[in-house]
Amino acid sequence: MLWKHKEEPKEEPVVNPVKEVTPVSTMPHEKRIETGPEVPRGTVAHIGKSVLIKGELSGSEDLYVDGQVEGTIELRDHNLTIGPNGRVQANINAKEIIIHGSLKGNVRAVDRVEIRKSGSLVGDLVAARVMIEDGAYFKGSIDIQKGIEAPKTGEPKKVEVPPPSESHPKYIGAPVEAKKLI
């Protein structure tokens, strides 16, 4: 053959290795706040940013407040979380209270009160455990009481009356007069 056609080596197309792609959601991400280990507790009621509640608030489920509440909050056996946008002016009685926003009022927690770094509490606090993060604001008094119970609504409070002292013998066995105030 005169004209021997010399074959040139064929270039093989370069194939880039395919990387696995994680599907991307077009849904906006919800901002989550770490509140510690999550424990499934059933339903959580949510008060949104634009909601204002004035009066007495009570319930038998956990509550997340990101709006405004003025009055009292009674959640004896449940948890209250005040979100970063939450503005609360109330006396609160709950099992556990976590504060990311602003709270003005006295609080009583059977278990614990946490004031996170973005949170502030102005008022007196009674709880078995208290945690205040660096950067949080607190003004008031703290009373640590182990094994406290939430007072039951409508139940009369028990008041301990000390026994009469011997230094005041004239009061022992003296008749008691009741006067009606008009």
Task: Give pLDDT tens digits for 29-86.
Answer: 444 444 443 433 568 899 999 999 999 999 999 999 999 999 999 999 999 999 999 9
Cα distance between residue 177 and residue 68, in whole Å: 48
Burial class (CB in 10 A: 0-12, 13-18, 19+), 141: exposed
| Predicted TM-score of the model (pTM) | 0.60
pLDDT tens digits, 136-146: 999 999 999 98
Using 50, 70 and 90 to split pLDDT, how confident is the model at 169?
A: very low
**What is the pLDDT at residue 43?**
83
Determine contact, residues 124/106, Cβ cutoff 8 Å: yes
Domain ranges for the chain: 44-147
Q: Which residues contact 136 (CB under 8 A, 6 or more apart)?
A: 99, 115, 116, 117, 118, 119, 120, 121
Cβ contacts of 156 within 8 Å, gap of 6 or more: none
DSSP lists the bridge partners of residue 125 as: 107, 142
pLDDT at position 103, please?
A: 97
Across the chain, mean pLDDT equals 76
- 16-35 CB burial, b ≥16 within 10 A, e <16: eeeeeeeeeeeeeeeeeeee
